[in-house]
Structure 1
Amino acid sequence: METQVIYNSDLHFEHEHWRSELFFWKDEMRSFKNRLEELVTRWTDKEVLARLEHFQNEFILHEGRINEFLEGIEKHEHLIAGKSMEGEISMDTVMVKDHMEFRNEMQVQRELFTELKKEFFTFLTRYM
């Protein structure tokens, strides 16, 4: 069986990609919240207001996950930096396993956020 080496620089590159994606999501959230504020002033229908509250809650939850991901990346970056300072250019099995789990969590969050955006845009099309 061949051993695969995962280099710190590769993990760092993926972290940077994730950071960019997460900051983009944060920016989208600001835009979505602005839309919510506009709609709250336009509608008095309880059903519409309930849907607005639903989206507001979903956005708050999603923002919390974004912040958790950013913190997780920061922690992993510190571990990578520590290994690099020790002269190690590749990660140990445990750290790579953690990174792969994080990658999977990011993918799940991507899918959840995509579905939320579709739902929100459908709602906006109907009520804007």
Structure 2
Amino acid sequence: MQRTLQLCTMKNHINIKYVKNLNNDALRAVEFYIQELNILQERLQEVATDNTAREVQEKVEHFQNQFSIHHEYLNKLKEDIQANDQEIEAELLITGNVISENVAAGHGRLHENYITEEKIFNDLRHEFYRFAAEWM
């Protein structure tokens, strides 16, 4: 049996399975990016160890800062997605098939935040690969 997730306005119908899949996909991707950050950090450390020039060390510091910012943001995003998932489940237990517009809007914002972070992260990763290729 397929349940339908509905906004309180009843104007829009969203498939619960679709929302859950979006959350699960985002959580898996966030975990992947966190692991990727650890790998990038190791490579950055190799570059820093092998190259002591001021120019290189400045870029190393830049990437360390960016990796730290993204690590914190990804952990927060993961927590927010899990919390949204729990809010959806809690409302569905009470209403059966309707969630508040607020929770649905929260899901939409989180998904947009995830898409934005994914793009920024991939840009950063490519920037780092270009840097590492030059100095490794």
Q: Normalised by the size of structure 1, how large is the TM-score?
A: 0.91
Provide, for residues 33-66 of structure 1, a one-character-per-residue CA deviation record: whole Å limited to 9, x for no partner: 1101111210110110110110010000000110
Are the aligned partners of 1:22 and 1:70 in contact in 2 as well (CA < 8 Å)? yes
Matched, 1:107 2:119: no
Instruction: Kindly provide the amino acid, as one letter, of the partner of residue 11 in structure 1.
Output: V
Equivalent position SS for 2:84 = helix
> Which residue of 98, 102, 115 maps to 2:106?
98
Aligned mates of 1:122, 1:18 — CA distance in 2: 27
Instruction: Give ranges in structure 1 of 5+ residues lacking alignment.
Output: none
Question: 2:25 matched to which residue of 1?
Answer: 17
Q: How many pairs does the alignment contain?
A: 127
Instruction: Kindly provide the amino acid, as one letter, of the partner of residue 113 in structure 1.
Output: F
Instruction: Give ranges in structure 2 of 5+ residues lacking alignment.
Output: 1-9
Are the aligned partners of 1:29 and 1:59 in contact in 2 as well (CA < 8 Å)? yes
Are the aligned partners of 2:44 and 2:132 in contact in 1 as well (CA < 8 Å)? no
Question: 1:71 matched to which residue of 2?
Answer: 79
Question: 1:3 matched to which residue of 2?
Answer: 11
Aligned mates of 1:78, 1:105 — CA distance in 2: 18
Runs of 4 or more, structure 1, over 6 Å off, are: none
Q: Using the TM superposition, give the Cα deviation of residue 126 of structure 1 relative to its aligned residue in structure 2, in angstroms.
A: 0.4
Q: Using the TM superposition, give the Cα deviation of residue 102 of structure 1 relative to its aligned residue in structure 2, in angstroms.
A: 1.2
Q: Normalised by the size of structure 2, how large is the TM-score?
A: 0.86
Identity %: 22
Aligned mates of 2:94, 2:18 — CA distance in 1: 18
- 100-109 or 55-64: which moved more? 100-109
Are the aligned partners of 1:19 and 1:70 in contact in 2 as well (CA < 8 Å)? yes
Query: Considering only aligned residues, what root-mean-square deviation do their CA atoms show, in Å?
Result: 1.5
- 77-86 or 57-66: which moved more? 77-86
